[in-house]
Structures are given as structure tokens and as C-alpha cells.
Amino acid sequence: MQLMPDTARWVAQQVGHGNYTDRQLKEPTINIELGTWYLGHLLKEFNGDQVLALAAYNAGRGHVESWLRENNWNGMVDTIPFPETRSYVKAVLQYQERYEALYGNNY
């Protein structure tokens, strides 16, 4: 999971990791717990819109909110203002399609 240290600290507080240290972000179980919690949080914040949530996960919630508020983005994958974020969201959605093709959508 990709989390910036400040975001990881905030998430750790939200999930009750009172003794969290930045070093723990390198521990797979902690990293996955914090990253999946944060992605779930973003999905709720963006009303289940995967594209918005994934873009916010990668580029930062503030960027996505700014793009939308200033009409710099229409919420579509191909028009995400940051090329890296556009590629990230496309890749995640493509892997989701592959996963569903292999395992169905009952995961």
C-alpha cells in the first residue's frame, strides 16, 4: 500500500494504534491494515466512486477536491490532471477487471 507518513500517522490514530511509529509502515500487516482502512475511508467520502477514491489515494484528497471544485477535472479516468495518478487509477481498475475475470465479483 502507498501511504505518506503523515497520512499513515493520521490513519493509525483513527484505527487506534496509539504507539504507532513511522517504521511500522514497512511492516506488511500494519501497512495493509492502514492502507485498506484509508482506501475504505476515501470510498465512503467519495460516495463509493472508485475513480475519485483511487485518485485521492494516489494524488491526495486535497488535489482531487481542488480539481473538482475548480472544474479542472470531470471525474473521468482519462482526464485526471496528474499523468502518474491517471496511470495508477487505470492500472488498479485493469487489475480489478482481471481479478473479477479470474475469481468472479463475489470477493
Same-domain pairing of 61 and 101: yes
d(CA 79, CA 17): 37
Same-domain pairing of 68 and 105: yes
Residue-wise pLDDT for 48-64, tens only, equals 999 999 999 999 999 99
Same-domain pairing of 71 and 106: yes
Cell of 98: 482481471
The number of distinct structural domains making up the chain is: 2
Same-domain pairing of 1 and 23: yes
Q: What pTM was computed for the model? A: 0.90
Q: What is the chain's length?
A: 107
Distance from chain centroid for Cα 54: 4
Same-domain pairing of 96 and 79: yes
**One-letter amino acid identity for 66?**
S
Same-domain pairing of 38 and 63: no
Residue-wise pLDDT for 63-73, tens only, equals 999 999 999 99
Same-domain pairing of 40 and 84: no
Average pLDDT (2-14) is 95
CB count within 10 Å of CB 13 equals 11
Domain extent for 35: 1-45
Residues 6+ apart with CB under 8 A from 48: none
Collapsing DSSP states into helix, strand and coil, what is residue 106?
Answer: coil
Same-domain pairing of 72 and 90: yes
Same-domain pairing of 104 and 55: yes
